[in-house]
Structure 1
Amino acid sequence: MTLESYVNSYLHPIGKGFFAEITLNRPKALNALSSEMFQELQKLLFSFKEREDIYFLFVHSSSTRSFGSGGDVKMVGQELFKNKESKAIEEFFKLEYKTDYLFQTYNKPIVAWGDGLLMGGGLGIFNGVSHRVVTPNTLLAMPEVAIGFFPDVGAGYFLNKKFQELGRFLGVTGARFGADDALDLDLADYKIEGMKKDEVFSKLLGETWDIGEKAVGEKLSGLLSQYALNRHENDKKYGQLLKCEDEIKVKLQSNDWKEVCENLLFWKNPGNAWIEESLAYFRKGSPLSWALSFRYLKEASTKSVKDVLLDDLNFAFQFCRGEDFREGVRALLLDKDQNPNWAFKAIDKIKEADLDPYFENIINRELMDDYFSSEDLLDQNHRHQAFQSKGSPQV
């Protein structure tokens, strides 16, 4: 498969204008998003942005298995082992978070059809759009703690939007959840049967859209609502989070990261298979990532999406300096022995002083703020200047 075909686009004529279809097309990798894919997405978003004859965008996958399984962290891990000061890693995270910011702040309505896996970097893109469709087949997660990383791609913003303790539970444990949970936490807007996609698409083609930007968004909302399933209809396993809300809030109500992590670590709930499954994911993760992720999500709760994404950039580079991210990628994605040797074997061995360095700023924040807002596709002026005078991350 050629690089160009990983992200495809097509302008569909409708009346006097068009709607733009963007297809993620890397099915063998479950649409793991690469630097090149982020570049192509940015090019398309910028090219459509100022065109008044493009009314809205429709983003989906060529496969029902996965809208986006995450960022291409396998590539990042390979780079970490090859070159401790890899510019490819710097470029990857800058491209990923800038792409997330573009989706979050885009000036046209965007429909995202999130069928199949919707995890990590895929969820970062999906949560930036105006009209978010999930299906009964959608499986969502922010599973980064399993590889010694943290819930990034703006999760500090979107996991904190509603029922904050529940969002933090998802971020710290890496729990898998479904369409109804996504609706409950304002991580999706509509649940529609996956088999209805072609019908919805045909309906979009048959409508009149030369009606003004605000009216287009409202009309899309009305059209998608016509296809939306009643809550919990036709699902064998419907939303779990709100059913467990009181229990989860008790476990996560403390401001002390160590207390919260210990609450989760020793929580037993044999009567709830979903909680037990979620805690099993949690226990396989990095203890350092547990602690850092909870503190990070807690501190992000009042921040703007741009500030969160800038924090993500800084935090990602800090993780590249540490041991657990590289070790997690090795154990789960490269060697696949499923036996990571974490820097800390137990949460009680971690001290506040072990966390504090991760929160120190090492990026040139003013320059990166400008880069996120610019239309500098290849980052000609900023690419090698993400960091303060100390230089690139020593990973």
Structure 2
Amino acid sequence: MVRFQFLPTRHGARIAEILLDTPGTLNAQNLAMVREIRTQLELWRDDASVVAVLMRGVGEKAFCAGGDIKALYYAMTEPGRITEADDFFAEEYALCRELHRYPKPVLAWGNGVVMGGGWGLLAGASHRVVTEISVLAMPEIGIGLFPDVGASDWLGRLKLNVGRMLFLTASRLNAADALAAGAADWALPATSFEVLLQGLDELPWTGHGQTDAAMLSQLLEALSSALPCPLPPAQWEPVQDLVAELVAGDDLLQITRRIAACQTDNVWITQAQKQMATGSPNSIVLSWTLAQRAQGMDYDAVVAMETLAARHSVRHGDFSEGVRARLIDRDNQPRWQDATVEEALARGVTRWFDAV
């Protein structure tokens, strides 16, 4: 479920709070939750008393781990329910698009797990905060999907092409790396949330989006200086130049072979190699293709492209098999349609872009 509440401020303005409240599934979203959030955002857009939006997850473990994948599995596999999966993806992507363009400041408290659709919410926020326990990832190749919620676009905007490494290998960024890569704007201690709320209460909100966004940035800058976050040791940043070399160029087959052949004792890279080796080759090829096509596209076109790819994925791809293997039967032995990236490339990608 998702809950909404208002945080009054001493100057009379209100901050609207979105609380993702499914801690048992790491605050994963379902279709009903997405629809409720979209409805509230539309109402708050025209409410002059609401000056900003705060998003957070209930509990100490996660902001949001993405979509309710088990619910999507049953929608894909039970007769007559496939359109539920279509609707979820279309509306989830629309929600992220709306966040990107929201006229009022949106602060995402990205504490804990931030994955899949959860990263989509964080990426759509104007003010992105992580804590020392934040973990960011787009692990979709492991379940036969692709990094979506606009990630075809915004992963490519991360520094030194690290986004490529993330979507090809399902690698993770910790808080230190998220800041270094440009995936987050500020880091605050996980215990500082009440201090943040006090600061939000004291701001002289004006009701003008740009002015309020600038004031919020100043507050977060001041808090991050006054309350240094105990960041974990960076994992990607120490090997960022090597990673940039591994993912350089426009030949996907060459890149995946280069990653697989890399001789290193760096744990972050060796974990990436393992995850790429067990991920869906179809998903790797599709993820690459979407990212390549997204270059130069406007955001609406990216959303439309991903929506179409999702419709194909729930019908013809490796998605249902990946979820079965990882989350339903838990045998961790998915039977992918293609055994290698080379085979998936040979089969081609045009089918993913035909009307469904």
- Give the alignment's TM-score, normalised by structure 1: 0.85
- Alignment partner of 1:245 is 2:220: no
For residue 341 of structure 1, report the CA deviation from its aligned partner: 0.9
Distance 2:153 2:258 in 1: 24
Q: Does 1:314 align with 2:308?
A: yes
Q: Distance in 1 between matches of 2:96 and 2:74?
A: 23
Q: Contact 1:157–1:304 at 8 Å: present in 2 too?
A: no
Alpha-carbon deviation of 1:208?
A: 2.0
* 1:302 Cα deviation from its structure 2 partner: 2.1
Deviates more, 1:225-234 or 1:156-165: 225-234
- Given the alignment, which residue of 174, 177, 180 partners 1:181? 177
The partner residue of 2:289 within 288, 295, 300 is 295
Task: Give the superposition deviation at 1:47.
Answer: 0.7
Deviating 4+ runs (over 4 angstroms): 229-233
**Percent identity between the aligned chains?**
28
- Are 2:69 and 1:58 equivalent residues in the alignment? no
Aligned to 1:368: none
Match of 1:41 among 30, 37, 41: 37
- 2:4 corresponds to which residue? 9
* Partners of 2:65 and 2:232 in 1: CA distance: 23
Distance 2:157 2:272 in 1: 21
Unaligned residue ranges in structure 2 (runs of 5+):
none
Q: Take 2:207 and 2:58, find their aligned partners in 1: how far apart are those partners? A: 30
Q: Is the 8 A contact 1:258 1:291 kept in 2?
A: no
Q: Given that residues 56 and 108 in structure 1 are in contact (C-alpha distance below 8 angstroms), is that contact kept between their aligned partners in structure 2?
A: yes
Task: Report the equivalent of 2:187.
Answer: 191
Q: Does 1:131 align with 2:110?
A: no
Listed one character per residue, the Cα deviations across residues 75-131 of structure 1 (whole Å, up to 9, x for unaligned) are 111121113762111111111111111111111001110000000000001110111
Q: Which amino acid aligns with 1:11?
A: F
Structure having the larger proportion of residues in helix: 2
Q: What is the alpha-carbon distance in structure 1 between the residues aligned to residue 337 and residue 160 of structure 2?
A: 29
How far apart, CA to CA, are the structure 1 residues paired with 2:328 and 2:85?
17
After superposition, residues 164-313 of structure 1 pair within 5 angstroms as 165-210=161-206, 212-228=208-224, 234-238=230-234, 240-270=235-265, 272-313=266-307
Note if 1:106 corresponds to 2:102.
yes
Secondary structure, counterpart of 2:129 in structure 1: strand
RMSD: 1.9
1:226 offset after TM fit, Å?
A: 1.3
What is the CA deviation profile of residues 5-29 of structure 1, one whole-angstrom value per residue up to 9, with x for unaligned ones?
Answer: x211112222232111111111011
Residue 187 of structure 1 and its aligned partner are, at CA, apart by 1.4
Q: Output the CA distance in 2 between the equivalents of 1:138 and 1:217.
A: 23
Can you give the 5+ residue segments of structure 1 that lack an aligned partner in the other structure? 1-5, 363-392
Q: 1:351 to 1:196 in 2, by over 3 A?
A: closer
Return the alpha-carbon distance in structure 2 between the equivalents of residues 141 and 37 of structure 1: 21
Match of 1:146 in 2: 142
Deviation at 1:242, TM superposition (A): 3.2
Q: Which amino acid aligns with 2:69?
A: V
Deviation at 1:188, TM superposition (A): 0.9
Aligned residues: 355
Matches of 2:207 and 2:149, distance apart in 1 = 33
Structure 2 length-normalised TM: 0.94
Q: Identify the match of residue 70 of structure 2 among 66, 71, 74.
A: 74
- For residues 329-344 of structure 1, the aligned pairs below 5 Å read 329-344=323-338
1:267 Cα deviation after fit: 2.4
Q: Aligned partners of 1:34, 1:229: CA distance in 2, in Å?
A: 37
> How much does 1:233 deviate?
6.1
Give the equivalent residue in structure 1 for 2:321: 327
Match of 1:122 in 2: 118
Q: Aligned residue for 1:366?
A: none
Q: What is the CA distance between 1:356 and its match in structure 2?
A: 2.4
Contact in 1 for aligned 2:290/2:306 (Cα 8 Å): no
- With over 3 angstroms needed to count, the CA separation of the structure-2 counterparts of 1:85 and 1:161, relative to structure 1, is same
